[in-house]
Amino acid sequence: QELRNALRQAEHLSPKLRTRAILTLAGIHAHQGERFLAELEAGRALELARAEKLDRMAAMALHTLADVLSEQGHYEDAVAKSREATTIYEDCGEQFEAIRVRINIATYYVVLGKLREGIRLLQSTLQDARRGKHRRLESLTWSALGDAYFRTEDLRRARRCFRESDTLAVYNDEKHFDILF
């Protein structure tokens, strides 16, 4: 409700703040399962970000849009939006986000049955996560690789990947339950 109230006063908000508010609203609607509204808001945020040349915000909108599309089962469209987001993130120097989106692209390929392409992309992403010292992304990548190998019925590799993911997901005396098996 607060976001809606803020957006009613949109003329008083900077384009960046307006875009962020719309994206936040899209995320809330996506979380509530209101995918149609989330898709509309992500598209609106993308238009605003592009018009105002807010590249990072445009990448965030594309990423949100890809997530919503994937939840609707439109994986090919999600791949296209994600690729565009990755390019923008890389151009902005946002390597963490670029890697995170590439993990998503690979999982979309896996769901589409393009296992070889998904595994290849995940292996590449794993190297980038290691080089960037992004432990959480490395753990997520191992987890996604485990799922991909499980789908190929290579249970030995799948188990190894899940163990690697779990090992990385427990650090700083913290357990990241969203990653752990």
- pLDDT beyond 90 at 90: yes
Long-range contacts of 114-117 (CB under 8 A, 24+ apart): 115/148, 115/151, 115/152
What confidence score (pLDDT) does residue 181 get?
47
Identify the residue with better confidence: 9 or 29.
Answer: 29
- pLDDT beyond 80 at 123: yes
Give me the count of residues in the chain.
181
Poorest-confidence range of 13-17, 107-111, 176-180?
Answer: 176-180
Going by DSSP bridges, is the β-strand pair 170-171/174-175 parallel, antiparallel, or unpaired? antiparallel
Whole-prediction pTM: 0.87
What confidence score (pLDDT) does residue 17 get?
86
Buried b (16+ CB within 10 A) or exposed e, 93-128: ebbebbbbbbbbbbbbbbbeebbeebbebbeebbeb
What percent of the chain lies above the pLDDT cut of 70? 88
User: pLDDT tens across 35-81, in order?
Assistant: 999 999 999 999 999 999 999 999 999 999 999 999 999 999 999 99
Average pLDDT, the chain: 90
Token pair in block for residue 150: 């499980």
User: Per DSSP, what are the bridge partners of residue 170?
Assistant: 175
Phi, psi of 28 (to 5 degrees): -65, -45
